[in-house]
Amino acid sequence: MVQILFGGPLLWWRLRSVPASGHPLVTMMPNPGYRPQIDSLRAVAVFAVMYSHFWDDASPWGHHGVRLFFVISGYLITGILIRSKEAARSQGALGVILVFYLRRALRIFPAYYVMLALAAAFLPEVRTSLPWHAAYLSNVLFALNGNWDPWPLAHLWSLSVEEQFYLFWPLLIVLSPRRTLIPTLIGVILAAVAFRAAIMFYLPEGPAR
């Protein structure tokens, strides 16, 4: 989660020298169209994860790849929210947030729940933990258990982190005034780092770390 949070300030760092008055924020944003640089970073992250999984499971590159994915996600989602916020003032904050949630749900839910249904049908060992995965709490389950069981669904921890991020980040971005957004983001990042440190200190070795 900490890595996703860094994506927002990275976007705002690019905008730090642009005056707040005279132009809507949407005109200050990076080009919302296709960005090949992002795909290049994704390719690096994919290679890092695959290298760790298939060639050297002791390598730290898989962890670095996942963290890079999180940073990219935070960057892109923050941009989407800011552009939506400035381009749809007539909708109000609630309308922007609801549209964002609806689009995320239509993008992720169908394939995700079909996959869970197939897993439950053909993999009996995943059935007892299915409610956790259905609620996007896979990461919480693995942290509480201190292991990655059921292994066939172990990869869902990262998607759970993303979905949990989607729950609160739109509220923070859309409801925060522009002048207070950077201090708010910094505060959230510091709180996340402190929480991560507490988890690593108090919990034993395992998925939570």
Structural domain tally of the chain? 1
Q: Residue 159's closest CA among 203, 101, 112?
A: 112
* The predicted structure's pLDDT at residue 207: 53
pLDDT means per 10 residues, the chain with 209 residues, are 54 48 42 75 92 86 91 90 78 85 94 97 95 96 91 94 92 88 89 86 60
Residue at 170 is within a domain:
yes
Distance CA 19, CA 149 (A): 51
Residue at 40 is within a domain:
yes
Distance CA 142, CA 207 (A): 6
pTM of the model: 0.75
Lookup: tokens for 47: 């290679």
Q: Residue 156's closest CA among 137, 172, 174, 171?
A: 137
* The predicted structure's pLDDT at residue 29: 44
* The predicted structure's pLDDT at residue 20: 42
Contact 65, 45 (CB under 8 A): yes
Q: Which domain holds residue 189?
A: 2-14+24-202
Alpha carbon 198 to its chain centroid, in Å, reads 21
Residue at 19 is within a domain:
no
The secondary structure of residue 129, as a DSSP letter, is G
Residue at 208 is within a domain:
no
Residue at 111 is within a domain:
yes
Q: Residue 150's closest CA among 126, 116, 183?
A: 126
Distance CA 10, CA 15 (A): 9
Q: Which residue in this structure is represented by tokens 């983001």?
A: 185
Q: Residue 1's closest CA among 116, 110, 157?
A: 157
Residue at 209 is within a domain:
no
Residue at 207 is within a domain:
no
